[in-house]
A and B are shown apart, each in its own frame.
Chain A
Amino acid sequence: MSIDLKTIKHISKLSRISVDEKKAEKLAGDLNSIFDFIEKLNELKTDNVEPLTSVAETTLKLRSDEVKSKNLRDQVIKNSPKENEDYFVVPKVIE
């Protein structure tokens, strides 16, 4: 299989990572060599195999629905690159 530049552009859009032509070509080369290597999995028949989603063979524990940490607003906002009083600030979305 081969990943072309159009596919790279599509993935970069889904990934929210901008790529220019030069970077797209490099990525196409890298991804193709990685996927050649991944294709090995097709040698295996897995029709009747259950997928493994977690190695931890436990069910999720329930806990009581209590608030344990309060008043974290300042901590939550502390690392934001741009804020205004209690809010995160992003470029204008609505015209």
Chain B
Amino acid sequence: MDFLLSLLEFAFGRQEQVLEALAQHAGYVVSVLVTAGVFAIVTGIVTRRNQLARELALSIASVFLTIPSLALFVIFIPLVGLGFAPSFIALFLYSLLPILRNTITGLDGIDPGVLESAKGMGLSPLQVLLRVELPLAWPVILAGIRVSSMLIVGIAAIATLVAGGGLGDFIKSGLARLPLPNSLEAIWLGTILCLLLALVIDLILQAARLATISKGIR
């Protein structure tokens, strides 16, 4: 209980710092989800008709997830330097697989009869894609985006090791000062805020789910 109080005191004593780290961390998540989301969905759409291309894209995306986070964060440093860039690239590569896999699963799961009737109604292939296929696959795609977001929130804590900021800053500074006063607080604050941020993002995505899923399939 005492620790909880001193944790709160620690957090509220440096609101500015906390908000900045939170903003950086959330900035990674949002920018990565948007760019990787677009990239993965487009890749899923482009490759869906060709089994080899589809499976190859999935295998490559899953290899990225196999590469340990520290390695992926630092491997681009010789090319792009420290800070935001290497962290962004690593998180981007990590978030591809869940979105890509769900895009493919979602598009695959559409009843061929529905596509036939859309075609029969005179919709062009592009119209079928935009007005029938994507809306029907969207709930599955969104589930993939959600998995990616959880993943990125946790991994983005590593960004601090390549001077990329974020909530990992608290963990790093706490570790460096251990066992001085406030070091434990910093470590726990960084870790707990990651979980809270994930919770908030999860809620936002659930709201987005309700708002964006077309009425017919709710």
Please determine whether chains A and B interact with each other in the same assembly: no
Interface residues of A (CB under 8 A from B): none
